[in-house]
Structure 1
Amino acid sequence: MYRNGIPANSLEGVTWVKSRRSAHEGNCVELAALSNGAVAMRNSRDPQGPALIYTRAEIAAFISGASDGEFTSFTA
C-alpha cells in the first residue's frame, strides 16, 4: 500500500513519465504506474520530494478534464 506524500525516490522500479510538452528546464509533472494499479505524481523540480498517489480513475478524470479545457484558467 502506498500513501500520499511518500518520498518519490522510495518508489523503486517505477518509470517516471512526463509530457513531451514539458519545459526542458524540468518544470513539469511526472507520473509513474505503481504495482498496485495506482498512479504516483511528482514535481520534476523535486524528484526526491513527495509523491501524490491517485487511483487510475482519478487520473483518468483529471486527464479528461484537462483535455476538455477545464483547467485553462490556471495557465493564464
Structure 2
Amino acid sequence: MTQVSVRSSANDLPPLAWRKSRRSNPSGNCVEVAELPDGSGVAVRNSRDPEGPALIYTPAEIAAFILGAKDGDFDDLIT
C-alpha cells in the first residue's frame, strides 16, 4: 500500500502552476492540481484553501485515479 505524502501547507512546495477543472464554479467548490517540477508526482489542494495542506501523489497513483474517473469508477459519488 502506498502512503500519500501530505505537506502541512501548499506554501511548503516550490512555486507551481496550479490549475483546476473547467467545471469549477464561482463558489470555489473544486480542487486544484499541479505537476511537481521534477516530474515525481502531482500535488492536489483545496481551491478554497490555497494556503492549506496539499496531498502529493506519484505519477502512477494519479494515473490510476484519472483513468478510473474516465472509466466511470466514481460516478456513484455524484449521483
Q: Which TM-score applies when normalising by structure 1? A: 0.86
- Give the number of aligned pairs: 74
Structure 2 residue runs of 5 or longer lacking an equivalent are none
Structure 1 residue runs of 5 or longer lacking an equivalent are none
Amino acid at match of 1:6: S
Pairwise CA RMSD of aligned residues?
Answer: 1.3
Q: Distance in 1 between matches of 2:77 and 2:58?
A: 23
**Could you say which residue in structure 2 is the equivalent of 1:6?**
8
**Could you say which residue in structure 1 is the equivalent of 2:68?**
65
Aligned with 2:6: secondary structure? coil
Match of 1:46 among 34, 46, 49: 49
Q: Distance in 2 between matches of 1:70 and 1:10?
A: 32
